[in-house]
Structure 1
């Protein structure tokens, strides 16, 4: 299998611009930094370990690397950078200066909190080289402030050149260097104001202290050198050399690509498949849940919504599930994730997030539980385990019953007057829908009722399959009522598209937003066919960009063209024009529903998204982009639903395209008449 995914020729570190790299470990841990060297975010580190209790923890912040050739001038390795390439998603740096050529590789063994870095000479020069490594540490939670005071460090020397370093109550960082010659020069170095460039732009603490135990002096010969940094036991940390670990990880990644949908095995699809894998993780520290899941013969698996600061979110997980697991040929993981979140169901809700390092869910999402129905449907439709349905049916019934009866504390419930679902959370700051940041949507949101109708239709079929004919009929009647009310109330003849919100704090909201896409993109569209084309046309002409779909039309007085500034400015812009790549999935679905034979037109909607895999955090997709050109990547540099929905849309519009989602019984009602053309 061809291993080279991407090659970037760089005229020194400045040529890398603001691009970043990231490698994940299947536990929620990772290594990341600027492509040209160093840490630009407070979240960056060469070993960010996923630890029980404390969550993701930066154990090794960065390395200074200096080359000392015999008889020549020393130079900082990053200043000699000429190329970065990605082989099966793994970064490889090449450096050249004064006839000396070196290569650096980095790998994290799967499901281990270990980073291995290897250096080797590519030139044939005879001069002896020494590589001086200075590790810098500031042990802290990865989302904590950069200027948190340093905990008192303690260093222990072990046999065979092994080093253990602790700071405060954090577990030890274990370091071991291998080379033809290894020396350790302890000096207790310190930097009081290490600069984090991205944090400065985001108006967070931009400086932070770092501590170093000293220098590791490595002699480079034909076998090269390597450094192991680990939070695991010594036995696990040293179980593999860097070469062995990279060979194992390459094999694992090759098998991932081989399992994926055939339409995802081209160069773009390959990168997206590998990026998708990074968001699937086995949580550590959720021992109570892990025990229950294991007792049922299952595996505890979840989804990191985004690196580096998001944890697992119910809404994001359910939206991303098809792209992350089913398109990639791993339906068994889809089942495990659904069972994991089902175990968290409480009072008819699945959690909208589970805090990093913890095991208790946070419940205040109106849409996460409705997306759960959709995720199960897609799993079953793509050949998932049919035994999931009877196992999850009681959970689904509790969710429907709770929404119909009303869920105290959140104002979630069905309006008996029209059957539409509303949410009127009395607590300010609680975000019931995905688009509530600085844009309160208390009332009856359009996408919530599209999801509600879809869930009712799915439940009608599932109850019938389970032999509950009376239950199926009752839910089917409710679905028909929702569909009738939706088309009567959400269509706005004054604008030619749908209201975004009914009965909000300021009445009905006529703003042009992408949420209306779900009314025709879901497997059971609530929107009457006569409205499909005008809604699609409104979204494409007013909201589409080459990198995704804007959250608000530019002509709106509340539109923000850029996602910049401090937290307040960013929150204000978050859903007021900022572009969201994940929406390309529903957009492609809607296009193919209206134009079922126009694969080329649907593929065009992906625009420049595939090209952004070489920008931002290389090999993955950002959370958001600016609403205005040139649509720079912003927010979280690696986002699960951005990758998952782009991958799903890529395969739908490729050679392996499937037909549009089949319409169930609820979608076969006669179309309503419409005054629109």
Structure 2
């Protein structure tokens, strides 16, 4: 079933070099928002790394459970060889099992390591049970032996965004058959269990240090498992699971086999056109989860939860592009039921439901339109049309954060002090870096597109479009009159308020050269037809191997590195930092202008083996070599690359 994924594998030159192996990350997920993730070398470089990370009531409320399971081989001579890898606050790396790795591979999405100790080769594979917070870890003797294998379970139970230390009470452990229950929250089980119970102090996370965050934690050594590997093919299996602790999961070997089989089925359902397409379809699967209320989309791993803007931007590639229209239909119906004052909530990741977004709802109109166009689902169009008309009416009348239509030109204006409502929403110490108050170009391209979509959907089902048709005509003309700039491209924001930091005039038109203008040419009902000239200008200033810069070099405030502490990173987030998802609008606009862009995907295709393995990162540095930053696994980055590659074939 399904075509093969691209080959992702590394030998000892990468596995045995922490500078290389510890910067390549793998991910497996449980379909609920939980996951297991780590690095090729086995070193935990992030607070988020662990073999069992459990989603809470929402995908954003995750807890790290089983942090690591460190193997050690006892040879016939009695010598013990430790195969785990940890870095400590002292700077020491101990043990250094990565030095014995001869191979790492992703096989149908399942990570596999092989350590060599002379003629003894030990293999590890792990997989999660789909639809259950459960991981199975298999250790297999490939050659040599007999040997004894011990596995030290380093545990915790904490918020995935935090740390736990030995100055707090130790995790509560309850002895059960062949293992233990930790904090009454999850269970670990395997052969030859021997409880321990002591702190490992000062585990260091080098990526968190790089990001200016707390970089150490203490781990609880709960105990160890022991098994005998007599001959090649023998296995030692360990499982860890949350939820129904009394119900034993399938053996770890079966979990690995089931994960591979499911991976092949997921890829087959997407009807991939080549190995890269198959890999992107497989990557997309990680982001589509059952949140408890129905299908939803995790914006990125390992730290994001659900964001409506990301969901709707990714919708076409993530769900329609992978054969999941039925799940998409349920998602769209559920989101429509949550509209408030004509708006979708932005996120609940922060602990409260926030509506601080101007574009998520407009992307929702686009997603519904693309769904109906792809599936012919007129029943869904008729069902959602009243909600879509309400969205239009609320925007015409005015809603939260100053979002309203300007009667002078039919364009959508927005903004309130201290807010950043577009996708360029970073703030430092509460102050927006790119406030973009007024009439942003992509917001109004989405407004024009959304009005046309509502009108078309109404006509399709023989219903009254409400005010959408009239509003579309006015917004369309308003856009074409207001946004073209003298240089041949488009203003980023028009009619910015007087306090906008571009000058003192009552109305300021911001001509910052940004990729937002691409939506004016790329959306299905775009207000402008793309021309080669402006697209060449976009390519010259913004296009990189990993996507498009968020601001042209040389512009005021331009930052070429997305590095440092939170304030530094947020300050650079939309001031030059490269965003892979923007390859979608760029490629679409070029295709509409008959500009050949087949070669633009090479860098991103190569990136699939460089950072978040088999996936696409959230961001990258603006300057060469455009090192990846942000989340290693990002939904809209995967979705838009998948959609764009298929579009231009």
TM over 0.5: yes
Deviation of residue 150 (structure 1)? 4.0
Deviation of residue 63 (structure 1)? 2.1
| Aligned partner (choices 160, 180, 198) of residue 163 of structure 1 | 180
Distance in 2 of aligned mates of 1:262 and 1:341: 29
In the alignment, what sits opposite 2:550? 551
In the alignment, what sits opposite 2:147? 129
Asked whether the equivalents of residues 345 and 354 of structure 2 are also in contact (C-alpha less than 8 Å), the reply is yes
Deviation of residue 215 (structure 1)? 2.4
Alignment of 1:113-262 (within 5 A): 113-123=133-143, 125=144, 127-145=145-163, 150-159=168-177, 161-166=178-183, 171-178=184-191, 182-184=192-194, 186-221=195-230, 222-234=233-245, 236=247, 238-262=248-272
| Aligned partner (choices 423, 437, 447) of residue 434 of structure 1 | 423
Deviation of residue 500 (structure 1)? 0.3
| Aligned partner (choices 30, 38, 45) of residue 43 of structure 2 | 38
TM-score normalised according to structure 2 size: 0.91
Give the root-mean-square deviation of aligned CA atoms. 1.9
Asked whether the equivalents of residues 146 and 205 of structure 1 are also in contact (C-alpha less than 8 Å), the reply is no
| Aligned partner (choices 71, 74, 82) of residue 102 of structure 2 | 82
**Alpha-carbon spacing, 1:104–1:211, altered in 2? closer, same or farther (3 Å):** same
Distance in 2 of aligned mates of 1:146 and 1:570: 25
In the alignment, what sits opposite 1:9? 11
In the alignment, what sits opposite 2:62? 56
Asked whether the equivalents of residues 156 and 171 of structure 2 are also in contact (C-alpha less than 8 Å), the reply is no
Q: Tell me the secondary structure at the aligned position of residue 327 of structure 1.
A: helix
Distance in 2 of aligned mates of 1:397 and 1:629: 46
- C-alpha distance after superposition, 1:410-441 (max 9, x if no partner): 00000111111011223x1x321001321111
TM-score normalised according to structure 1 size: 0.87
Deviation of residue 92 (structure 1)? 0.8
Q: Tell me the secondary structure at the aligned position of residue 581 of structure 2.
A: helix
Asked whether the equivalents of residues 203 and 565 of structure 1 are also in contact (C-alpha less than 8 Å), the reply is yes
Deviation of residue 621 (structure 1)? 0.9
Asked whether the equivalents of residues 53 and 64 of structure 2 are also in contact (C-alpha less than 8 Å), the reply is yes
- C-alpha distance after superposition, 1:609-636 (max 9, x if no partner): 0111101111111100100000011011
Q: How many residues align?
A: 612
The reply on whether 1:632 has 2:632 as its aligned counterpart is: no
**Alpha-carbon spacing, 1:128–1:521, altered in 2? closer, same or farther (3 Å):** same
Q: Tell me the secondary structure at the aligned position of residue 608 of structure 2.
A: helix
Q: Tell me the secondary structure at the aligned position of residue 492 of structure 1.
A: coil
Deviation of residue 146 (structure 1)? 5.8
User: Structure 1: any 5+ residue segments left out of the alignment?
Assistant: 285-289, 291-299, 655-677
- C-alpha distance after superposition, 1:533-570 (max 9, x if no partner): 33322211111011100000012132111100010000
- C-alpha distance after superposition, 1:562-595 (max 9, x if no partner): 1000100001100011000000011111001000
In the alignment, what sits opposite 1:414? 405
Distance in 2 of aligned mates of 1:150 and 1:641: 39
Q: Tell me the secondary structure at the aligned position of residue 151 of structure 2.
A: strand
Deviation of residue 10 (structure 1)? 2.5
112-121 or 207-216, larger mean C-alpha shift = 207-216
In the alignment, what sits opposite 1:623? 618
Q: Tell me the secondary structure at the aligned position of residue 83 of structure 1.
A: strand
**Alpha-carbon spacing, 1:215–1:247, altered in 2? closer, same or farther (3 Å):** closer
Distance in 1 of aligned mates of 2:52 and 2:382: 42
Q: Tell me the secondary structure at the aligned position of residue 558 of structure 2.
A: coil
Deviation of residue 72 (structure 1)? 5.2
**Alpha-carbon spacing, 1:13–1:63, altered in 2? closer, same or farther (3 Å):** farther
The reply on whether 1:274 has 2:282 as its aligned counterpart is: yes
